[in-house]
Amino acid sequence: MSFTFATLKTAIQDYTQNTETTFVNNLSRFIINTEERILKECQLEVFRKNVTGSLTSSNKFLTKPSDYLSSFSLSIVVSSENKFLLYKHPTFLQDYNANASTTGEPLYYADFDETTFLVSPTPDSGYSAELHYFFRPNSLTAGADGGTTWLSTNAELSMLYGSLVEAYTFMKGEADLLQLYQARFQESLTYLKNLGEGRNTRDEYRYDKVRREPIA
């Protein structure tokens, strides 16, 4: 089973038995919110890619790609070798390199804001950089009614039950049904996580576990 934009909207209305105009006008928002929850909770290889860029001397900021969702790894080239930077909380970087004018080979990076990374120490010269990251794909709602996406084809239960959670929350619907759909959504996410992360079939190193340290 898979959903097109049209068939998912119809399914939401059928399950909720709601065709009220305000409700129907918010169907796209229910779907978008569901996609966002899935993408943030499941690291799926199909939504992973890499780009190259440059760190410039005395500039501690690096612009993120426009479709950036979360990072997998960030590396710089030093003496023809890739060196991976460790992901940290921004406050760690500020404490580590309190004087931004002090430069050196970057060792750490952090999310500064939605569009920018912060690196530390401040680069002492120019470095080629490679970012491996999870990206935000186009929403099912961005296409025609007959269109599909990877999520609507391969994560159809997550799309359905997540949208129903959003719909019943919007409607202030029956608590027992909301609880049921939330449980089914979480169950579908667990399956999707195992499918995407391959926990049962690959060891951490071969699987390329996200190169991050716990945030202190």
Check pLDDT > 90 for residue 67.
Answer: yes
The mean of the pLDDT values for the chain is: 90
Check pLDDT > 80 for residue 199.
Answer: no
For 93, counting Cβ atoms within 10 Å of its Cβ (0-12 exposed, 13-18 middle, 19+ buried), the class is: buried
pTM of the model: 0.80
- CA 206 to mean position of chain CA atoms: 22
Q: How confident is the model at residue 202 (pLDDT cuts 50, 70, 90)?
A: very low
Tokens encoding 130: 């490679």
91-109 confidence digits (pLDDT tens): 999 888 888 788 999 999 9
Percentage of the residues of the chain whose pLDDT score is greater than 90: 80
Nearest to 41 by CA among 142, 144, 155: 155
Check pLDDT > 80 for residue 123.
Answer: yes
Angle between helices 27-41 and 5-16 (to 10 degrees): 100
51-62 confidence digits (pLDDT tens): 999 999 999 999
CA distance readout (Å), 105 to 36, 64, 123, 172, 212: 35, 20, 6, 54, 18
3-28 confidence digits (pLDDT tens): 999 999 999 999 999 999 999 999 99
User: Between 45 and 33, where is the model more confident?
Assistant: 33
Check pLDDT > 60 for residue 182.
Answer: yes
Q: How confident is the model at residue 198 (pLDDT cuts 50, 70, 90)?
A: low
Q: How confident is the model at residue 112 (pLDDT cuts 50, 70, 90)?
A: very high
Q: What is the mean pLDDT of residues 23-44?
A: 95
